[in-house]
Amino acid sequence: MRMSIVCATLCLLYSTAVTFAGEIVMLQWNPHWQCFEDHPECSAKATAMVAELLTTKNLDFANLIELETTELELPAGWVALGDFQSCGHDWDSLIYNAKRWRVLANTTGCMLDSRSYTAARFMSIADPSLGEVLAIGAHYPQTLNASSQGYEKGTAALKQVIKTLGGSDQFVIMADTNTEGPVAAAASPEHHGVNKTNGQLLVDLGVWGEGAGAPPGAKLFNGCCYNDNFSWQGDRIVANFGRVTSSEVLFNPAPAWAAFNTSEFHRAVVLTLQV
Ligand SMILES: *[C@@H]1O[C@H](CO)[C@@H](O)[C@H](O)[C@H]1NC(C)=O
Ligand SMILES: *[C@@H]1O[C@H](CO)[C@@H](O)[C@H](O)[C@H]1NC(C)=O
Ligand SMILES: *[C@@H]1O[C@H](CO)[C@@H](O)[C@H](O)[C@H]1NC(C)=O
Ligand SMILES: *[C@@H]1O[C@H](CO)[C@@H](O)[C@H](O)[C@H]1NC(C)=O
Identify whether the C-beta of residue 111 lies closer than 8 Å to the C-beta of residue 92: no
* Dist CA 45 CA 25 (whole Å): 22
For residues 208, 170, 75 and 11, what is the CA-based torsion angle, rounded to 10 degrees?
A: 140
> Does the pLDDT value for residue 9 go beyond 80?
no
Report the candidate in 137, 72, 73, 131 with the shortest Cα–Cα distance to residue 102.
Answer: 131
| 145 in contact with ligand 2, CB cutoff 6 A | yes
Nearest-atom number in ligand 3 for the CA of 186 is 13
SS3 20: coil
CA of 95 from ligand 4 middle (Å) equals 33
What does the pLDDT read at residue 40? 98
1 pLDDT more than 50: no
Q: Which has the closest alpha carbon to 131: 104, 94, 165, 158? A: 104
Please check whether residue 249 is in contact with residue 1, taking contact to mean a CB–CB distance below 8 angstroms: no
Q: What is the pLDDT of residue 7?
A: 42
DSSP bridge partners of 263: none
Say if residue 3's pLDDT is above 80. Answer: no
Compute, in angstroms, the gap from residue 257 CA to the centroid of ligand 2.
Answer: 35
Distance CA 43, CA 107 (A): 26
The mean pLDDT value for 134-152 works out to 97
User: Best of 113, 144, 145 to mutate for ligand 2, by most ligand atoms within 8 A of CB?
Assistant: 145
CA within 13 Å, CB half, 252: 15
pLDDT attached to residue 17: 42
CB atoms within 10 A of CB 122: 26
Q: How high is the pLDDT of residue 16?
A: 41
CA distance 117 to 137: 6
Rounded to the nearest whole angstrom, what is the distance from the C-alpha of residue 181 to the centroid of ligand 1?
34
Phi-psi bin for 130: left (phi > 0), alpha (psi -120 to 50), beta? alpha
| pLDDT at res. 2 | 42
Q: What is the mean pLDDT of residues 211-221?
A: 97
- The predicted structure's pLDDT at residue 79: 98
Q: Is the CB of 146 under 6 A from ligand 3?
A: no
Amino acid at site 178:
N
pTM, rounded to two decimals: 0.92
pLDDT reported for residue 168 = 79
Please, what is the average pLDDT of the chain? 93
- From 180, 195, 196, the mutation candidate for ligand 3 (largest count of ligand atoms within 8 A of CB) is 195
Q: Is 148 in the pocket of ligand 2 (CB under 6 A)?
A: yes
The whole-number average pLDDT for the span 58-76 is 98
Distance of CA 161 to the CA centre of its chain: 16
Over residues 86-90, mean pLDDT: 96
Closest protein CA for atom 11 of ligand 1:
106
- Other CB atoms within 10 Å distance of the CB of residue 262: 12
